[in-house]
Amino acid sequence: MYAGDETFDAAIIGGGPAGVSCAVWMARLGLRPVLLEAGHAIGGLCRSHAFADHWNASLPGATGPQVADNLASSLAQAGVATYLSCRVKMVSASSGGFDIHAQGHRNPLRSRHLVLATGVRARPLEASSPVVAAGLSAADVRAGPDPARPFPGVLVGPGSHVAAESFAGKRVAVLGGGDNAFENALYALEHGALSVRVHARSVRAQHQFVSRFPARDVIVGPYEADPLSRRVDGVAYDLVLVFYGWEPCIGCVDALGLRRSESGFITTDMTTAETSFPGVYAIGEVAQRLHPCVVTALADGVTAAKAIQARMEARQA
């Protein structure tokens, strides 16, 4: 439970690279942030990325969990107040700042500023999608407790659940035309899959990934997939991997009426990361500000921290 009636300089929702970076910089700047993370550990999507990340120039070859452990260490060393397993249900504007209502906490936490580092989640299968066979209801499509595994043999989005899967001797269909689709198709091939076929309405992946995958096994154009029978265009597969991109996790701030892009992401000022609501900032993938990776998320956190410092100093002047 929250201790006391103190008001923090900023409440940061989300404990991935962007949120941790913002919290650490604010603390190092002499401000008082608090970080709220819905999961049981710090790291965000890094926690579920079991593979080595060769794109991070500061930590070449480090896995996602290793990066997450470093983030947690940075928070502890900076002395940032941190609440884990703290899912924010609603945020409301109040006199002098914001009230944050979280699951398991009787009283709201109060802060002068709000930083949204809530990240993204893999887009789920939708009954309304043209690639899902007719006759499935929304309840059918979203059945099961695990959105990453909505049906037996169907895996949605990248992450540790893919790394934990056995591909040896299996026929695999990959749905999607982006980087994640082709990277995971290659991963399945490299881990003993009998066959892998990519179905994509359009190919958007980088050439370096597409060029390594057999062109004969890339089917471009409309297709129909039935997750119940694991059939794509009538062909049965042992595994179906779904990579339909990402959607922002922002339901807790609906009451603030933040301006969003056509794809649903929060729009921000590029120089400050501030949203359309004064005192609210959005960083990392929830705002799609920069190419999504650990390094750009860290930089985003610094941007928001410095902007909040400048805003507070201007009020005190």
Tokens of 88: 């924010």
pLDDT of 77 over the 50 cut: yes
In this prediction, residue 151 carries a pLDDT of 87
Please give the CATH number for the structural domain made up of 7-121+247-316.
3.50.50.60
Q: Could you give the CA distance from residue 38 to residue 36 in angstroms, rounded to a whole number?
A: 7
In this prediction, residue 316 carries a pLDDT of 87
Using one digit for the tens of pLDDT, what is the confidence trace for 81-138? 999 999 999 999 988 899 999 988 888 999 999 999 999 999 877 644 544 554 555 4
Tokens of 278: 């004064």
Q: Could you give the CA distance from residue 91 to residue 99 in angstroms, rounded to a whole number?
A: 6
In this prediction, residue 126 carries a pLDDT of 61
- Rounded to 5°, the CA angle 152-154-158 comes to 135
Using one digit for the tens of pLDDT, what is the confidence trace for 229-277? 999 999 999 999 999 999 999 999 999 999 999 989 999 999 999 999 9
Instruction: Name 62's bridge partners.
Output: 53
Lowest mean pLDDT among 9-23, 38-52, 104-118: 38-52
Mean pLDDT computed over 169-197: 97
In this prediction, residue 149 carries a pLDDT of 87
Please give the CATH number for the structural domain made up of 138-242.
3.50.50.60
Instruction: For the chain, give every domain's residue range.
Output: 7-121+247-316, 138-242
Burial class (CB in 10 A: 0-12, 13-18, 19+), 142: middle
Lowest mean pLDDT among 145-154, 164-173, 222-231, 283-292: 145-154
Distances (CA, A) of 4 to 1, 7, 25, 108, 155: 9, 9, 24, 11, 44
Mean pLDDT computed over 209-225: 95
Q: Which residues of 183-206 are buried (b: 16+ CB within 10 A; e: fewer)?
A: bbbbbbbeeebeebbbbbeebebe
